[in-house]
Amino acid sequence: MRDLAPYAARSERTGGRRQREASPRNRSEYQRDRDRIIHSTAFRRLEYKTQVFVNHEGDLFRTRLTHSLEVAQIARSVARSLRLDEDLTEAIALAHDLGHTPFGHTGQDALNACMKPYGGFEHNLQSLRVVDLLEQRYAAFDGLNLTFETREGILKHCSLKNARLLGDVGERFLRRRQPVLEAQLANLADEIAYNNHDVDDGLRSGLLTLQQLADIRIFARHMKAVLKEHPRLAERRLIHETVRRIIDTLVTDLIQASARNIRTHAPGSVEEVRAAPPLIAFSRQIRDESLELKRFLHDHLYRHYRVVRMSAKARRIVTEIFQAFLSDTRLLPPEFQERAQKDAPRAIADYVAGMTDRYAILEHHRLFAIEQI
Binding site for Mg ion (CB under 5 A): 97, 190
Give me the residues paired with residue 147 across strands: 17
Length of the chain as a residue count: 373
Nearer to Mg ion, 63 or 261 (CB): 63
Task: Give the alpha-carbon dihedral of 41, 120, 124, 15, to 10 degrees.
Answer: -90
Gap between the Cα atoms of 151 and 168, Å rounded: 10
Nearer to Mg ion, 190 or 198 (CB): 190
Residue 131 Cβ vs Mg ion, minimum distance, rounded to whole Å:
15
For 147, the 3-state DSSP assignment is: strand
Residue 96 Cβ vs Mg ion, minimum distance, rounded to whole Å:
6
Asked whether the beta carbons of 170 and 62 are under 8 A apart, the reply is no
Nearer to Mg ion, 97 or 122 (CB): 97
Residue 97 Cβ vs Mg ion, minimum distance, rounded to whole Å:
5
Nearer to Mg ion, 190 or 357 (CB): 190
Q: For the purposes of burial, counting CB atoms within 10 Å of the CB of 335, is it exposed (0-12), middle (13-18) or buried (19 or more)?
A: exposed
Gap between the Cα atoms of 39 and 45, Å rounded: 11
Residue 213 Cβ vs Mg ion, minimum distance, rounded to whole Å:
22
Nearer to Mg ion, 190 or 200 (CB): 190
Asked whether the beta carbons of 122 and 112 are under 8 A apart, the reply is yes
Gap between the Cα atoms of 93 and 70, Å rounded: 9
Nearer to Mg ion, 99 or 267 (CB): 99
Nearer to Mg ion, 29 or 97 (CB): 97
Helix axes 305-327, 344-354, angle to 10 degrees: 140
Gap between the Cα atoms of 241 and 283, Å rounded: 23
Nearer to Mg ion, 199 or 270 (CB): 199
Residue 298 Cβ vs Mg ion, minimum distance, rounded to whole Å:
15
Q: Could you say which DSSP state residue 170 is in?
A: G
The angle subtended at Cα 296 by Cα 292 and Cα 302, nearest 5°, is 140
Nearer to Mg ion, 74 or 276 (CB): 74
Residue 130 Cβ vs Mg ion, minimum distance, rounded to whole Å:
14
Residue 88 Cβ vs Mg ion, minimum distance, rounded to whole Å:
17
Gap between the Cα atoms of 49 and 47, Å rounded: 6
Phi, psi (deg, nearest 5) at residue 63: -115, 175
Nearer to Mg ion, 97 or 241 (CB): 97
Q: Which residue is nearest to Mg ion (CB)?
A: 190
Residues near 164 by Cβ (< 8 Å), separated by ≥ 6? 170, 174
Residue 194 Cβ vs Mg ion, minimum distance, rounded to whole Å:
6
Give 309-363 as a DSSP string. HHHHHHHHHHHHHHHHHHH-GGGS-HHHHHHHTT-HHHHHHHHHHH--HHHHHHH
Residue 6 Cβ vs Mg ion, minimum distance, rounded to whole Å:
30
Asked whether the beta carbons of 50 and 63 are under 8 A apart, the reply is yes
Asked whether the beta carbons of 268 and 276 are under 8 A apart, the reply is no
Residue 11 Cβ vs Mg ion, minimum distance, rounded to whole Å:
24
